[in-house]
Structure 1
Amino acid sequence: MRLSELFIKDAMTLDLQSTTKEETLSVLANRFAQVGGVSDVEGYVENLKKREAQSTTGVGDEIAIPHAQHVSIQKPAIVFGRSSQGINWESFDGQPAKLVFMIAAPEGAGGEHLKALASLSKVLMNMDAKTALLNAQSPEEVISVIEQFEEKPEEAPEMVEEASKTDAYVLAVTACPTGIAHTFMAAEKLEQAGKKAGIKIKVETNGQGGIGNRLTAKDIEEATAIIVAADKNVEMARFNGKPVIVTKVADGIHKADELVERAMKADAPIYKAEDIRETMGQDVVNESLGRKAYKHLMNGISHMLPFVVAGGIFIAISFFWGINAFDPKDASYNVAAQFIFTLGKLSFAMMLPVLAGFIGHSIADRPGLVVGFMGGILANPGVLSDSNGLVEASHIQPSGFLGALVAGFLAGGIIIFLRKAFAWLPKSLEGLKPIFLFPIFGTLIMGLLMILVLNAPMAAITNGLTTFIDSIPTELKMVVGFVVGGMMAIDMGGPINKAAYATGTALVTTAAAGAGSDVMAAVMVGGMVPPMAIFFSALIKKDLWEESQRDSALVNCVMGMAFITEGAIPFAASNPAKVIPALALSSGVAGALSMLLGASSRVPHGGFFALMTNGIINPFGFFAAWIIGSLLGAILLIVFVGKKKA
């Protein structure tokens, strides 16, 4: 679809009298309705306002491109409006908008018309086109200007501008929340800046119609530097080890020359991916609900983990003086043990608030952090001495790990609800919401829901799960150990791995002080086996792995000791069909042996170091399960992978 074909001549307004953004949106939407373009004007305007709330569509240079979808729109269109005095659109450069292009699209629309919409951004980069639109005397003349400057299919430029002055090769990625306007304007500006500088440049666009002009592995390998101008998540792990400039999409539009100049000189920090296993080609905008929930959960767990590790290790160390040496009433009392045990308990006390707080933060930003923290505290009010009276007076039953988990997601939902509930407040009171209204009302709602509704059923589920696991006979516990141990090696840090780890953590943190959890021990030993199996396999059969992998295979010994399962990922990725089954089977066997030999873990992390600091009950059984599972894994790897080399 051609860009000029999207303009609705009969809906144009060349002399806008509106003075505010909101009024202008309403005027243009009503004009669109008069020609039959949209039937639910109020609904469409509301969607336009929601888009503006994400970030302004005032792209600068006296131009605004408001855009939204709605179910009552039958086909895509552009409604043009012009204001001689200009309208305050909170644009990036502070200039009032004189040219307003309202883009309307059917709900869920994608495909060819989005490509045409993207070309509008490119037209508006041309100053001659802008001048002609400001001076156009009729709707027909406006369309004529668009036809004159829009890109013809046969004139489409090469996607990569060839170098003529230097050997620099610059890559860029542009993305905005909706992927219609800013994404392509930034891309056009960066391409123009690259051409002006005489370098080869390639720009990937993360638009609503999907990823355009995708960067290849070869592009990234040859690149001098990469510019990421984005207001949403984009694939970053692929840039591991390259100079990367990360900035706002607005800078891609207004600071393109500066960004390209920096990239030419590789004037940027080297990007180090935290997770080099990030899935390539992930469409962040269209993530599934499950994927979003997983990311929110991982945000909470990743922030919680250091508190859990510190608390568990300190408590385990305190047991050196005796299992009850921290208690002044016990004959084995030791002041050092009490001090270290207290540090561990205080660290543990932060676990549930941090878990719930950062899940809420991931969903609803800072307001979600406050409400989530309070939810985590209410999941176990006894962790704070000031709340002891409240617990005794109200007979609140702690809901523990599961309660905090639910509280984190609830915190995000509460803030989303409050944002809608207070949307009617004037803009002048916007600053009052995050520092007063959201914390007060959010904490009140969280408190009522946790104390009156959620704590009791969550506590019942936790107690039921603990009782059920304790009542399982040894032979069936071996099955449980095999399952959770195997889960740790299937995706090594992915959702399946984290599900097993979260289960073990929940059980160890609800156990009595010093009691530990046999499921946590099976989880930990299952996660320690894959890297150690890689290490043993490289020792036993030196030519099993490629020469480039052999050094890292030996380093996996340390990773296995530290319970860092991810050390095995590069090897699993090189031959997943053969490596993953071998590792999953051996991890499962290790988990089953851990259960059979009666090992329990008092701490949720630490690996061999937890073993050395009294964090494991029956350390010899745990160690035996680990070594046997690792040796079995090495043998299976040699059998499965070695066949290929035979």
Structure 2
Amino acid sequence: MKSFVKSLRLKNHLLTAISFLIPVVCGAGFMIAIGLAMGGNSSADLTKSFTFWDALAKLGGTGLGMLPMIISTGIAFSIADKPGIAPGLVVGLAAEAIGAGFIGGLIGGYMAGWLVLATIKYVKLPSWANGLMPMLIVPFIASFIGSIIMVYVIGSPIGWLTAGLTHYLSTLNGTSKLFYGLMIGVLASVDYGGPINKTVFAFVLTMQASGVNEPITALILVNMATPLGFTAAYFFGKMFRKTIYTKVEVETIKTAFPMGIFEIVEGVLPIVLNDIVRCVVATGIGGAVGGAISMYFSANSKVPFGGLLAIPTMTRPIGFIIGLVANVIVTGLALALLKKRVTAEDEEKEDTATEADLNMDDIQIS
């Protein structure tokens, strides 16, 4: 049984789909964040009178509304390659229509992909009709069966499950919120935009699609705070008269800081890879503090991405800012205390490695 589940590669297909999803979330998220920050209305009717900011907010919101279809299409494509695209899209649309939302799109993507594989394997046509398989037979059968199952069998239960989970999260008390935020903060911060972070992102995005904004706000906070915390660690190191970064790492910080303002955490990876354990411990501690504070104060971003641009969309921005500052300070202090002092030998090793990468003897002119 375990080997069978492993052969399904559920996690791999989900991560592939999320890699397609994130650019849409980033693009549409920035659009709606900027639009709302400038006074736009995401519910504006673009067939009537509207402002530029109304259009930006509306288009960004429309893009985010397509996430069930995008996750479904991405999973189906990962499972069945190009033949999975059309059924994945149609089943995702069915999930949205029946109110199954993001979770419905996610489950529908697996269903559509497996239906495509089953159709290709078991449906046999005369040789003269084989040309109809990729263009007509496969997309029709997989889309038809998948949509019917979504609408008449699994769509409503998924909707009930989502509603129940939404109600539970909406009624959490202070202690439960702290623990829940702590878990989001730790899990989101320890792999710097990797598989764990993406899995947490998929979950909290599901919650936001159901109207619960606090979990994804905690994720936004932690993703911002990690690069900012690495920057703060540099200054704490100076206060402690302790050099914690090499010259190359200091240059990395100069790039990672502005990336962090807009919630792009991967800028710190070159530093993390040089000292994984200490960096993970420091960011995990900081993420736990920031996530817990954000959830406790019910900070609630109306957009799933944007970093600093998400703050104007919040009805409780003060709680977010308090959590962000706390996360940055804790991460910075922990990193400054945990990291070893950089020695002249460390700098020399790094210079040697850089020279090896840029060895002029390797350049050949033919």
TM-score, normalised on structure 1? 0.49
Aligned to 2:317: 619
- Provide the residue aligned with 1:294 in structure 2: 11
2:356 — aligned with what? Answer: none
Asked if structure 2 preserves the Cα contact closer than 8 Å seen for 1:360 and 1:372, the reply is yes
What is the identity, as a one-letter code, of the residue corresponding to 2:15? M
For residues 26-175 of structure 1, the aligned pairs below 5 Å read: none
Shift of 1:323: 8.3
Partner of 1:536: 232
Q: Name the aligned partner's letter for residue 319 of structure 2.
A: G
Instruction: Provide the residue aligned with 1:566 in structure 2.
Output: 266
The structure, 1 or 2, with the larger RCO (C-alpha pairs under 8 Å, 6+ apart) is: 2
Counterpart of 2:81 in structure 1 is 365
> Can you list the C-alpha shifts for 1:158-199, whole angstroms capped at 9, x where unaligned?
xxxxxxxxxxxxxxxxxxxxxxxxxxxxxxxxxxxxxxxxxx
Structure with the higher strand share, 1 or 2:
1
2:219 aligns to what? 523
5+ unaligned residues in a row in structure 1: which ranges?
Answer: 1-285, 382-396
Q: CA separation of 1:539/1:427 partners in 2, compared to 1, >3 Å: closer, same or farther?
A: farther
Q: Say if 1:552 and 1:427 are closer, same or farther in 2 by CA, change over 3 A.
A: farther
Structure 1 residue 398 and structure 2 residue 99: aligned? yes
1:412 aligns with 2:87: no
* Conservation of the 8 A alpha-carbon contact between 2:192 and 2:269: yes
Query: 2:223–2:264: 8 Å Cα contact kept in structure 1?
Result: yes
Residues 37 and 313, structure 2, Cα contact 8 Å, conserved in 1 = no
Contact 1:378 1:451 in 2 (8 A): yes
Number of aligned residue pairs: 334
Q: Structure 2: which amino acid aligns with 1:404?
A: G
Amino acid at match of 1:579: C
- Partners in 2 of 1:321 and 1:298 — Cα distance? 34
In the TM superposition, 1:189-588 aligns within 5 A as 289=6, 292-320=9-37, 326=43, 335-336=50-51, 338-381=54-97, 397-422=98-123, 424-511=124-211, 517-541=213-237, 543-588=243-288
Q: Is the Cα–Cα contact under 8 Å of residues 529 and 626 in structure 1 kept in the other structure?
A: yes
Q: CA RMSD in A?
A: 2.6
* One-letter amino acid of the structure 2 residue matched with residue 451 of structure 1: V
Structure 1 residues 320 and 635, CA gap change in structure 2 (3 angstroms) = closer
> Structure 2 CA distance, aligned partners of 1:318 and 1:566?
26
CA contact (8 A) 2:15 2:195 kept: no
Say if 2:244 and 2:342, in contact at 8 Å, map to a contact too: no
CA contact (8 A) 1:312 1:615 kept: no
1:110-148 CA-partner distances (Å, limit 9, x unpaired): xxxxxxxxxxxxxxxxxxxxxxxxxxxxxxxxxxxxxxx
- Aligned to 1:600, what secondary structure does the other structure show? coil
Q: Distance in 1 between matches of 2:7 and 2:222?
A: 25
1:608 shift after superposition = 1.4
d(CA) in 2 for partners of 1:498 and 1:508?
15
Deviation of 1:607 after TM superposition, in Å, equals 0.8
- Matched-pair contact (CA < 8 Å) for 1:294–1:495: no
Structure number with higher helix proportion: 2
CA distances 1:534-588 after superposition (whole Å, capped 9, x unpaired): 1111233252012222210232211211212222222222222222111111011
How far 1:493 moved relative to its partner? 2.2
Amino acid at match of 1:607: G
Larger radius of gyration: 1
Query: Is contact 1:529-1:560 (8 Å) kept?
Result: yes
AA in 2 matched with 1:304? L
What secondary structure is seen at the aligned counterpart in 2 of 1:335?
A: coil
Q: Using the alignment, how far apart are the partners of 1:312 and 1:487 within structure 2?
A: 22
Whole-angstrom CA distance in 1 between matches of 2:44 and 2:132: 47
Cα shift at 1:591: 0.8
Preserved contact between residue 520 and residue 604 of structure 1 (Cα < 8 Å)? yes
Alpha-carbon separation, structure 1, partners of 2:54 and 2:253: 41
